[in-house]
Structure formats: structure tokens, C-alpha cells
Amino acid sequence: MPAALDSPSDESLLARYRNGDGASFEALYARHRQGLYRFLVSLSNKAELAEEVFQDTWLSLIRSTTQPQGRASFRTWLFQIARNRLIDHWRKHGVHNPLHDSYDEQLHVQPDDASSPEHQLSLSRDQARLDAALQALPEDQREVFLLRLHGDLELPQIAALTDAPLETVKSRLRYAQQKLHRLLAEEVPA
């Protein structure tokens, strides 16, 4: 979902909005509303909570006067705000934060035959099955996969956002994809 080359960057749209150009915010919102919403729904697995955090995130961006810091892109910044808001919500309501669980990926490794050339499998297109597969992922793997999927973030950006080492992020994504392949694989009829 990156902006086209001839269109203004997210950062310049935000700067224009800060200078009073309301139309720039509409363009910025149109670019990221869907990805952010889907990320929150999939991560929290509750539409109501996702809507609340989604609204809080945009309102805090509207009312803030800050810009993305350092080398962070607008997208990384936006998803980081949303993630922090969700964690705040869990903390406030005494919900155990699943993203902070220490997780030993090695214990969950299973042989992944689906990606091997010998096994040409198609992936299920059933929406319920896709959702169930995502929810079956451990939280930290799911988070990395969702940031890649809906945020279109690169692994270094995800590592910075989740404050995790790059290698850990890589392995989380790899294990997540292996598990999803396994859960969604369907034999192609000969």
C-alpha cells in the first residue's frame, strides 16, 4: 500500500495537515484506514475493541503536534501508536498482554512440507478458515505476520516497532508462515 511515486509522501501529507490543510488528512486517512483497522481486528480479535483503539489512534494523531521521529516512517509510527493503545487498553482492563509472553519458537516448529516443490498445494480461500488459522498463531508470531500483511512493513521496521531483535522477528515470521501454510494447505486434485 505504498503511495505512488508522483503522489505526496505520508510525511508531507501530515505536515500539510499540521499547517491547516484538511484535505491532506483525508488523503492520509484513505491510505491507511483499511490496513490499520484490519490489523487491529486481527490482533485483538474483537471488532468493538478494534474500533475503539482505531478511533483513539487517529484522534491522538489529529490532536498531536508531533511528527514521526528519526528514520521512522509514518506507517511505522501509526501502527506503533495503535499497538501501544491496544496494550494500554489491555493493561487498563487487567487483561494479560499476550504480546509480552516469552515464546520459544523452537518448541512450535513442525515439519513444513507444504512449501516443498514436491507438494504443490493450494491455500484455502475460505474466510473463516483464514481467520481461524491466524488466530491459531501464537500472539507474537501473529503480530509480526499482521504487521507485514496489513501494515506492509519491512522486517527492520517491525523489529523497531516491536522492540525486538531483527533475527527474532525473522524467525517469528518464518514460523508463522510455516504454520499458516500447514493449516491452510489443501491437496490439489490430480
Partner 1 sequence: MIDPKHTPDPNDERLIEHFRQHASGEPPASLDAFILATARREASAPQPSLWQRWLQACQRPRWQMAFATVAGVALMIGLVLRSPVPEDHPSSLASMELSANRQEPSAAAAPPAMPAPAPIVRMAPQGELARAPASADQALLEKPATKMSKVAPAALPSLEQGLMEILRLREAGDGKAADEKLLALHKRFPKEDLPARLEALRKR
Interaction of residue 123 with partner 1, rule CB under 8 A: yes
Closest CB 29 distance from partner 1, rounded Å: 7
Q: How wide is the angle at C-alpha 129 spanned by C-alphas 79 and 152, nearest 5°?
A: 25
Question: For residues 99 and 173, which CB has a smaller minimum distance to partner 1 in the complex?
Answer: 173
Closest CB 105 distance from partner 1, rounded Å: 16
What's the one-letter identity of residue 111? P
Residue position matching grid coordinates 516497532: 161
Interaction of residue 159 with partner 1, rule CB under 8 A: yes
Question: For residues 22 and 111, which CB has a smaller minimum distance to partner 1 in the complex?
Answer: 22
Binding region for partner 1 (CB under 8 A) out of 5-13, 15-23, 75-83, 100-108: 15-23
Interaction of residue 109 with partner 1, rule CB under 8 A: no
3-state DSSP call for residue 155?
Answer: helix
Judging by DSSP bridges, how do beta strands 185-187 and 121-123 pair with one another? antiparallel
Q: Which residues pair with 186 in a beta bridge?
A: 122
**Total Cβ atoms within 10 A of residue 128:** 8
Give the dihedral of Cα atoms 16, 163, 148, 75; nearest 10 deg. 0
Question: For residues 45 and 97, which CB has a smaller minimum distance to partner 1 in the complex?
Answer: 45
Closest among 98, 185, 91 to 137, alpha carbons compared: 98
Binding region for partner 1 (CB under 8 A) out of 3-11, 14-22, 82-90, 101-109: 14-22
Rounded to the nearest angstrom, the gap between the alpha carbon of residue 141 and the centroid of all alpha carbons in its chain is 11
Binding residue for partner 1, selected from 3, 11, 29, 99, defined by CB under 8 A: 29
Point out which residues bind partner 1 (CB under 8 A): 17-22, 25-26, 29, 33-34, 37-38, 41, 47, 51, 54-55, 58-59, 62-63, 115, 123, 125, 127, 130, 148-150, 154-156, 159-160, 165-166, 170, 173-174, 177, 180-181
